[in-house]
Chains A and B, each alone.
Chain A
Amino acid sequence: MPANSFNNFTEYGIGIGLRVPHYRHILAEKPVVDWFEIISENFMVDGGRPLEVLDKIMEQYRVVQHGVAMYFGSADRLNREHLKKLKRLVKRTKTPWLSDHLCWGSVDGRYTHDLLPMPYTFAAAKATAANIREAQDFLEVPICVENVSSYAEFHASEMTEWEFLSEVVERADCGILLDVNNIYVSSQNHNFDPYAYLNNVPHDRVGQIHIAGHSKFEKYILDTHDHPVLDPVWKLYAHAVKLVGRTATLLEWDDSIPSFEEVHHEALKANQFIEKLENATA
């Protein structure tokens, strides 16, 4: 049964990101995996090997699209050409939902290829929500927006990050991809309580959860996706599933990528928190 109206895929289970170093293993060994998340932009191409691999993966597995370049928070209007390419891919994958970030990253057609933080103001929330609505209407697929890790805060902000996230998703009437690692990273960089964040987002809009590893530097934490998930993040994950119920969960591992088995094993650790929760409520 769906956990909420934005989470119709409660039983999706635990997925991992589809990454190039694992292609050969996955196609040859066909390991049992609940689902794969693909980075949309890697497959928004016109031909060649990427699409061939994608088609082969889709013969065996469920695939969900995750974007990194829609830039809902950009003051510029959404790029229609980008949306058209994305829609072609949506039709190909039949992704049940699609996610991208609550951030900006381009100005006047110049791209930073980064997930830059938003100023948390009502005007920014309104502009962002309008972009999400436009994308949702055009793509005809439910959208979940993901909170990003950040290293800077703006003087202009009028509210907390979780209030901003809530304001945006309510205005856009969309789902949330709750990245608990990003919440942890930002909480350390900006001195806030990550549990306050989790407690105060609209739980009935959470359609997916991300977990990942990060790297600690002397004065800040960087969201590097190159490590196993650290303990404080697992604790946050446990709290998150308590609040939102069983939810499709995905491990991101994008750099220093180990073997497929190691990544998958790390991801499946999430099951113990879901089982614990369900045993407790049974």
Chain B
Amino acid sequence: MKRSKRTSSSKSSKTRRLEVRSRAELKALQSLMATAVFRPLTPEEGMQPRWIDGRTTSELASTFIKPNDRLTAFDRLEIYNRVYWFRVLDCLYDDYPGLRAVLGERKFMKMITAYLAKYPSASFTLRNLGSRLEQFLRDEPRWIAPRPELALDMARFEWAQVIAFDDESKPAITPDDILDTRPDKLRLGLQPYLSLLQLNYEVDEFLVAVKKSESAVLRSEASNTFEAMPHSSGREKRPRLPKRKRIHLAVHRHDNDLYYKRLDPEGFVILTALRAGASVEEACLQGLSSTKRTGVDWNEEIKAYFNNWTALGWFCRFSKK
């Protein structure tokens, strides 16, 4: 009886096996399998039992994957589904320790699962996996409630570090290169690896504390000594969340080491204006008009800014792109 039910005509047309006799059919098979691979896992970390159209996923898998003597078609497809999710979740877990600490592990995992379900990887490299996270969090702030601003600050800060690590470095400009150009005509480019962030929380100090506490946990987990055992969970040492405070950060690299540097608000305005294409003169005027500080020798201050930024190699030739 069971056998005849399975081979009834309506069922067999639905479960027709996929063939690959052309590039188009190859594409159809690959699209189907990719859809299955990208679907989020169940809470038990298995493949979802129900397919998009209401069929069982077992039935769907059987249309293109062969079973063997140990594994069903579902089991075999599930291996790829699990490997994909473990890989991408692991990657964001490592790239966002600060955001993880802000949200807590469980909430973080739920959030990145939702993110990756909406935005599967669109790059050949896992390095770019977080490239649309800020946009996702702005569009769907429910994932970062009740601290959306802090979480967004941290997400932006951690993505800036990915950029600073290996983005392009252009030949740095020296004072000699610009000696003869008038400030109202002079435009300076900023290095592509440099990010300028205006933030509402002191996430830089918080991240340092998070990393310190994580490495302490790692050290204690790697140790067999009795003294290390009481600290092995690391939970009791979780750093306090940062207080609200407006800061300006430059995230950059120097000699290929990653740094983040606090900027004065005026310096931040000048650099942001330069990046937007303002001349040096315009950028400085914007910086000065933004200031609330009094009793400052701005000639000396601005000279010091530019000396410092030049020494760090932040300036390059301006290009309209």
Contact = CB atoms under 8 A, between A and B. Distances in A.
Interface of A: 41, 44-52, 69, 74-76, 79, 82, 104, 106-114, 116, 119, 121, 123-124, 126-127, 151-156, 189-191, 219-220, 222
A61 B85 CA distance: 36
Interface string B27-50: 101110110011000000000000
B165 A49 contact: yes
A112 B124 contact: no
A113 B87 contact: yes
The 8 lowest CB-CB distance pairs between A and B, nearest first, are A46-B168, A75-B27, A48-B166, A47-B169, A45-B166, A152-B76, A69-B124, A219-B70
A114 B83 contact: yes
B319 interface: no
A33 to B, nearest CB: 23
Interface stretch (B12-20, B102-110, B228-236, B292-300): B12-20
- Chain B, interface size category, equals 35 or more
Nearest to A108: B31
Interface string B52-67: 0000000000011110
A119 B26 contact: yes
Interface string B200-216: 00000000000000000
Given A111-B122, A119-B20, A156-B25, 16 more contacts: A47-B167, A48-B256, A49-B166, A49-B257, A75-B24, A75-B27, A82-B124, A106-B124, A107-B27, A110-B38, A116-B33, A116-B37, A119-B29, A123-B21, A152-B79, A155-B64
Given A109-B122, A220-B70, A114 B25 contact: no
A127 to B, nearest CB: 5
Contacts of A219: 70-71, 75
Contacts of A119: 20, 26, 29
Given A113-B84, A114-B83, A152-B65, A47 B193 contact: yes
B79 A48 contact: no
Contacts of B83: 114
B88 interface: yes
A119 B17 CA distance: 13
8 contacts: A41-B125, A47-B168, A49-B166, A69-B124, A79-B124, A121-B21, A151-B76, A220-B79
B94 interface: no
Nearest to A82: B124
A112 B193 contact: no
A116 B77 CA distance: 11
